[in-house]
Structure 1
Amino acid sequence: MNRLCKIVVALALGCWSGPALAETLQGTLYKAQACECCETHAEYLEKNGFDLKIEPVKDLVDMSRREGVPPGFQGCHLIRLNGYVFEGHITSEIIKRFLSEQPKDMVGLSIPGMPSGVPGMEGPKDGPIKVYAIKKDGTTTTYAEQ
């Protein structure tokens, strides 16, 4: 293939793949009615390519259980996004990496509780924070650290 053809092919591929790469990720963030840090996390995610509708719910723990999040792995909010759930203050990079992998045996990811030093929860960070993968069978494994 001559050089001009390679350039044309590269430009054409760039035109087709550009919008897909720049696509905003749309989902819903469900939060406990009184919690305010969830909205700060949503703002952080929106600055990083997410479009989240925020909905307060009366019983977030029950909702998390129905979504397949095992006891002890709930955070202060749950995000439904592309068929997965993301519990707690997970970084945009980790969520995007997980979504790009599209694991078939997973419910989603979780950072249990409300640790400090994560996006939306200002304060000191006491070392790496584990992000857990939640499998459809209810088991969990460490997916990443942030």
Structure 2
Amino acid sequence: MNKYLIGRREVIFAAAAFAVTPAAEAQAEEEPPIHVVKGRGCECCEAWVDYLREQGFTVTDEVSMGTLLIRFKMDLGIPAKAFSCHTGTVDGYALEGHVPAADIRRLLDERPDAVGLAMPGMPYGSPGMGSEDSRDAYDVLLVSRDGSLKVYTSYPAA
């Protein structure tokens, strides 16, 4: 028997390994890091950062207070009516408030010409704000470059 011939089993294993390689590589790709600017000692801000890390994002954070935090939001293009407690940035987009990971991933996939996403206020049951099993209804808004807001995703009460 020729030691250089490949058997049917080897061909099947090689084909199977080749077929799953692109999927494994895609899974191994890291998502862009998120940087969060938050108030000092804010438990819900910390909870959102923890949530993002649990969802697979790499997150850095820094503390900013008062007018410096407000100026940061305004410089990014977040309108005052969309403010929440913390602001993140990811791959050129702003993330205001307790934005869910699914919406962040959708934003990064769709790449709209926009400032980013905002979730005004701090609705109960949004990421970092209590149990999703008994959440309040809330909307995640797309912030346009002109400052206008439109619903990006609606979450019903649970």
What TM-score, normalized to structure 2?
0.78
RMSD after superposition: 2.1
Work out which of the residue numbers 121, 129, 153 in structure 2 matches 1:121: 129
What secondary structure is seen at the aligned counterpart in 1 of 2:152?
A: strand
CA distance in 2, matches of 1:119, 1:84: 19
Partner residue, 1:112 = 120
CA contact (8 A) 1:25 1:49 kept: no
For the structure 1 residues 7 and 90, does the alpha-carbon distance in structure 2 shift closer, same or farther, using more than 3 Å as the test? Answer: same
CA distance in 1, matches of 2:129, 2:20: 42
Structure number with greater Rg is 2
| Structure holding more helix per residue | 2
Partner residue, 2:152 = 143
CA distance in 2, matches of 1:25, 1:39: 19
What amino acid maps onto 1:121 in structure 2? Answer: M
CA distance in 2, matches of 1:46, 1:142: 25
State the 4+ residue runs in structure 1 displaced beyond 6 angstroms. 3-6
Partner residue, 1:100 = 109
More off after superposition, 91-100 vs 117-126: 117-126
Partner residue, 2:63 = 56
What secondary structure is seen at the aligned counterpart in 2 of 1:55?
A: strand
Find out whether 1:82 has 2:91 as its counterpart: yes
Partner residue, 1:18 = 27
More off after superposition, 27-36 vs 93-102: 27-36
User: Cα offset for 1:6?
Assistant: 6.9
Higher relative contact order (CA 8 A, sep 6+): 1
Work out which of the residue numbers 31, 53, 57 in structure 1 matches 2:38: 31
| Structure holding more strand per residue | 1
What amino acid maps onto 2:33 in structure 1? Answer: Q
Partner residue, 1:65 = 74
Q: 5+ unaligned residues in a row in structure 1: which ranges?
A: none
Q: 5+ unaligned residues in a row in structure 2: which ranges?
A: 1-10
What secondary structure is seen at the aligned counterpart in 2 of 1:65?
A: helix
CA distance in 2, matches of 1:144, 1:76: 20
CA distance in 2, matches of 1:13, 1:24: 17
What amino acid maps onto 2:135 in structure 1? Answer: K
